[in-house]
């Protein structure tokens, strides 16, 4: 049978609060905490990642915090007897238990991460009806939908340390076994519908082995091999709590975490938690794509933010829908469906030579002449100009002056990593009827070029200057869009990206931002 490693997904359990008292394992709580913290950490990381989704950010952008005053500022606390009674009333076909570990997880959901849980409650209003319908078609109890809470916090882009992916946290091998397409362009582990069908099949297979939903949860997390070993080491016992200490640490925490999530999703009102309004209804409309398409083509023609399209279609890893041999789905905001249908031909034709250049299929080595690449104009209406790079220029500036894309500049001039040098001649294509306008740019000052595009010239936007200091001189460099520390370091003799990080107290090289000023000390 399949073996599952790492943190995957959790299934639902039914309640039997009489079988174990809430003080079960109190004497060994420290040991349990060491294992269960792994799951809490993973859950909180998923919550943080979820808040970066476009549709979450967009929905919460102008929303006031819900805990600032009044009733919402009160965080209730209840005795164990209340939790036991409430859990006993949850309709379910499997057993649930209550103990101090379950209570600890309930407090994580209802006290520690309230705002994030409210966002998750809002997402549940979209995702849970989808899960219910699919689970029903596979004859799976619909309360198993709560396992997605633990694994991904309803984030289709969730990615665990064990390389499990998606709402249901499939590992690569298991995803392939259950029919999910996973390659460099498409990862259907991120597709909410297809991954849910796959998870239902996996759950059903595990239940056919164990006939116990709690053991299904454990096996779904750590693999049937680990569960079978735990059963053997316990002397053949098949109750989850009897084999508890024979299971991997991360698996021990999943069952109490799931019970607490089930409780929270059913009794959030009693804890003054309120679902946030998330506009995921935009994703309800789907069109089928029958040939290659880039999400940027759709974004630019229909005017849909590219981040929104990516979050609505998370399965496309590089923004490419590779519909060559089969059709793929594309989710769009419902108000754009009719425009997509009307403009289908225009969308596929828009910059198709850039996104899907047929010359790249059959091509020959590039011919060099005078150290420049020979490039044909993008169309008959475009003319070629040359721009000589000045000190302080970068591709972002040049692209804005000529009203072209940075990616076009890189393509036309075979530039990698945005690296250009002073004195370099760049090929730029502009409309023929605007040649005279753009011809003048080569002889303009930096201030004149910025003024031409309506950008004021400030101290921060002028080319970098050298400021003398006691021990020599520092160069203060202003980070431009597309810069990396590696690119910046290469512009200065003897300087490495590590030197820049150390001098500017930077711990993460990916965290530099446009407009940030960096101190650089070239070596003599």
Other residues' Cβ atoms within 10 Å of the Cβ of residue 98: 27
More confident residue, 14 or 512: 512
Listed by start position, the domains of the chain span: 26-271, 280-359, 368-452, 465-520
CATH 3.40.50.720 fits 26-271, yes or no: no
Token pair recorded at residue 212: 């116990």
Residue 468 has pLDDT above 70, yes or no: no
Residue 32 has pLDDT above 90, yes or no: no
Kindly state the helix (H) or strand (E) to which residue 431 belongs, with its residue range.
strand 425-431
Residue 474 has pLDDT above 90, yes or no: no
Digit-coded pLDDT (tens) for 64-111: 544 443 445 689 999 999 999 999 999 988 789 999 989 999 999 999
Residue 486 has pLDDT above 80, yes or no: no
Burial of 472 (0-12, 13-18, 19+ CB in 10 A): exposed
**Cβ 141 vs Cβ 135: under 8 Å:** yes
- Residue 13, pLDDT score: 28
Mean pLDDT throughout 131-151? 93
- Residue 380, pLDDT score: 78
∠ CA 105-108-110, nearest 5°, is 105
Kindly state the helix (H) or strand (E) to which residue 307 belongs, with its residue range.
helix 306-312
Residue 31 has pLDDT above 50, yes or no: no
Instruction: Tell me the average pLDDT of the chain.
Output: 80
- Residue 316, pLDDT score: 95
Give the Cα separation of 154 and 131 in Å (integer). 11
- Residue 514, pLDDT score: 81
Digit-coded pLDDT (tens) for 182-236: 999 999 999 999 999 999 999 999 999 999 998 998 888 888 899 999 999 999 9
**Cβ 315 vs Cβ 198: under 8 Å:** no
- Residue 67, pLDDT score: 41
Query: Helices marked H in 323-371 — which ranges?
Result: 337-342, 344-349, 352-355
**Cβ 518 vs Cβ 479: under 8 Å:** yes
The reply to whether domains 368-452 and 465-520 share a CATH topology is yes
Residue 389 has pLDDT above 50, yes or no: yes
∠ CA 20-26-31, nearest 5°, is 115
Give the Cα separation of 421 and 425 in Å (integer). 9
Confidence of residue 115 (pLDDT cuts 50, 70, 90): confident
- Residue 66, pLDDT score: 44
More confident residue, 209 or 366: 209
Confidence of residue 423 (pLDDT cuts 50, 70, 90): confident
Q: Which CATH superfamily is domain 465-520 in?
A: LysM domain (3.10.350.10)
- Residue 445, pLDDT score: 86
329: closest CA among 353, 299, 293, 304?
293
134-148, 157-171, 285-299: segment of lowest average pLDDT: 157-171
Kindly state the helix (H) or strand (E) to which residue 476 belongs, with its residue range.
strand 472-478
H helix count then E strand count, the chain: 22, 11
Mean pLDDT throughout 289-315? 92
Fold topology of 368-452: Membrane-bound Lytic Murein Transglycosylase D; Chain A (3.10.350)
- Residue 462, pLDDT score: 53
Mean pLDDT throughout 415-433? 84
């Amino acid at each position: 049978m399949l073996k599952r490693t790492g943190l995957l997904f959790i299934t639902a359990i039914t309640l039997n609060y009489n079988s174990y008292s809430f003080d079960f394992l109190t004497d060994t709580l420290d040991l349990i905490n060491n294992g269960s913290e792994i799951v809490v950490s993973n859950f909180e990381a998923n919550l943080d990642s979820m808040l970066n989704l476009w549709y979450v950010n967009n929905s919460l952008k102008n929303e006031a915090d819900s805990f600032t005053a009044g009733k919402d500022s009160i965080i209730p606390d209840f005795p164990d007897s209340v939790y036991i009674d409430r859990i006993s009333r949850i309709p379910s076909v499997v057993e649930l238990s209550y103990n101090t570990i379950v209570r600890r997880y309930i407090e994580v959901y209802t006290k520690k991460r309230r705002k994030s849980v409210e966002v998750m409650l809002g997402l549940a209003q979209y995702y849970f009806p989808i899960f219910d319908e699919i689970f029903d078609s596979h004859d799976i109890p619909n309360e198993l939908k709560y396992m997605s809470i633990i694994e991904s916090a309803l984030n289709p882009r969730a990615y665990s340390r064990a390389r499990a992916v998606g709402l249901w946290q499939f590992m690569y091998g298991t995803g392939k076994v259950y029919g999910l397409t996973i390659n460099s362009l498409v990862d259907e582990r991120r597709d909410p519908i297809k991954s849910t069908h796959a998870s239902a099949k996996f759950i059903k297979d595990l239940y056919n082995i164990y006939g116990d939903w709690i053991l299904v949860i454990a096996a779904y997390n750590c693999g049937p091999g680990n569960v079978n070993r735990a059963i053997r080491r316990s002397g053949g016992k098949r109750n989850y709590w009897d084999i508890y200490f024979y299971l991997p640490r991360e698996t021990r925490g999943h069952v109490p975490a799931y019970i607490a999530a089930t409780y929270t999703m059913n009794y959030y009102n009693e804890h003054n938690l309120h679902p946030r309004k998330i506009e995921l209804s935009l994703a309800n409309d789907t069109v089928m794509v029958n040939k290659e398409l880039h999400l940027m083509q759709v974004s630019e023609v229909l005017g849909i933010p590219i981040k929104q399209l990516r979050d609505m279609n998370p399965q496309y890893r590089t923004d490419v829908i590779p519909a060559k041999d089969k059709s793929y789905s594309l989710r769009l905001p419902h108000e754009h469906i009719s425009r997509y249908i009307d403009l289908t031909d225009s969308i596929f034709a828009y910059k198709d030579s850039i996104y899907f250049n047929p010359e790249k299929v059959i091509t020959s080595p590039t011919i060099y002449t005078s150290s420049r690449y020979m490039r044909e104009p993008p169309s008959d209406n475009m003319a070629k100009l040359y721009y000589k790079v000045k000190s302080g220029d970068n591709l972002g500036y040049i692209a804005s002056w000529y009203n072209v894309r940075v990616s076009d500049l890189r393509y036309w001039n075979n530039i990698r990593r945005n690296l250009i040098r002073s004195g370099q001649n760049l090929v730029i294509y502009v409309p023929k009827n605007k040649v005279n306008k753009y011809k003048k740019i080569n002889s303009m000052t930096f201030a004149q070029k910025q003024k031409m595009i309506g950008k004021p010239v400030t101290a921060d936007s002028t080319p970098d200057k050298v400021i003398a200091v006691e021990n020599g001189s520092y160069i203060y460099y202003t980070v431009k869009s597309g810069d990396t520390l590696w690119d910046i370091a290469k512009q200065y003799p003897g300087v490495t990206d590590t030197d820049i990080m150390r001098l500017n107290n930077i711990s993460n090289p990916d965290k530099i931002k446009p407009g940030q000023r960096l101190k650089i000390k070239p070596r003599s």
